[in-house]
Amino acid sequence: MRAMRWLGLATTVLMTVSLYLIFVEVPTEREMGIVQRILYVHAPAAWAAYVCFVLVAVGSVAHLWRGSEHGDRVALAAGEVGVLMCTLNLVTGPIWARPIWGVWWTWDPRLTMTVIMWAIYVGYVMLRAFGRDDDGVARYAAVVGITGVLAIPVIRVSVRMLQGMHPAVTTTREGGSGMADPTMRLTLYLSGIAMVLLAAWLVMLRVRLEALHRSAAVLRRDIEYGLE
Partner 1 sequence: MRAALAIFRKDLRIEWRTRESLSTLVVLSVLLVVSLAMAHDPTPTEAARLAPGILWATVIFTGVLVVQRSFLVEREHDCLATLLGAPIDPAAIYVGKALGMLVLLVAMQVVVVPLVSIMLRVPVWGVLPELAVVLGLGDLGFAGLATLFAAMTARLRVREMLLPILLLPLLTPVLIAGVKATEAVLEGGLPAAGEALGVLVAFDVIFVVAGGLLFPFVVRD
Partner 2 sequence: MKNLGYLFAAYTAVWLGIVLYVRHLGRRTTEIHEELRELRKKLERR
The binding site for partner 1 (CB under 8 A) comprises 64, 116-117, 119-120, 122-124, 126-127, 130-131, 133-137, 139-140, 142-144, 146-148, 150-151, 153-155, 157-159, 161-162
Task: Indicate if the alpha-carbon torsion angle 87, 132, 213, 148 is positive or negative.
Answer: negative
Identify which range of 63-71, 137-145, 169-177, 201-209 contacts partner 2 by CB under 8 A: 201-209
Identify which range of 40-48, 123-131, 139-147, 161-169 contacts partner 2 by CB under 8 A: 40-48
**Residue 127 binds which of partner 2, partner 1, none (CB < 5-8 A, kind-dependent):** partner 1
State the Cα–Cα distance between residues 77 and 56, nearest whole angstrom: 8
Identify which range of 65-73, 91-99, 122-130, 153-161 contacts partner 2 by CB under 8 A: 91-99
**Residue 130 binds which of partner 1, partner 2, none (CB < 5-8 A, kind-dependent):** partner 1
**Residue 223 binds which of partner 2, partner 1, none (CB < 5-8 A, kind-dependent):** partner 2
- Phi, psi dihedrals of residue 198, rounded to the nearest 5°: -60, -45
**Residue 222 binds which of partner 2, partner 1, none (CB < 5-8 A, kind-dependent):** partner 2
**Residue 88 binds which of partner 2, partner 1, none (CB < 5-8 A, kind-dependent):** partner 2
Decide if residue 202 touches partner 2 (CB under 8 A): yes
Decide if residue 1 touches partner 2 (CB under 8 A): no
Neighbours of 214 (CB within 10 A): 13
DSSP string, 92-112: HHHHHHHHHHS-S----HHHH
Identify which range of 60-68, 83-91, 129-137, 171-179 contacts partner 2 by CB under 8 A: 83-91
DSSP string, 13-81: HHHHHHHHIIIIISPPBTTTBGGGGGHHHHHHHHHHHHHHHHHHHHHHHHHHHH--HHHHHHHHHHHHH
- Phi, psi dihedrals of residue 166, rounded to the nearest 5°: -135, 75
**Residue 95 binds which of partner 2, partner 1, none (CB < 5-8 A, kind-dependent):** partner 2
- The residues, ordered by sequence, that sit 6+ positions from 64 with a Cβ below 8 Å of its Cβ are 139, 142, 143, 146
Burial class (CB in 10 A: 0-12, 13-18, 19+), 24: exposed
* Residues near partner 2, by CB under 8 A: 33-35, 37-38, 41-42, 45, 81, 84, 87-88, 91-92, 95-96, 98-99, 198, 202, 205-206, 208-209, 212-213, 215-216, 219-220, 222-223, 226-227
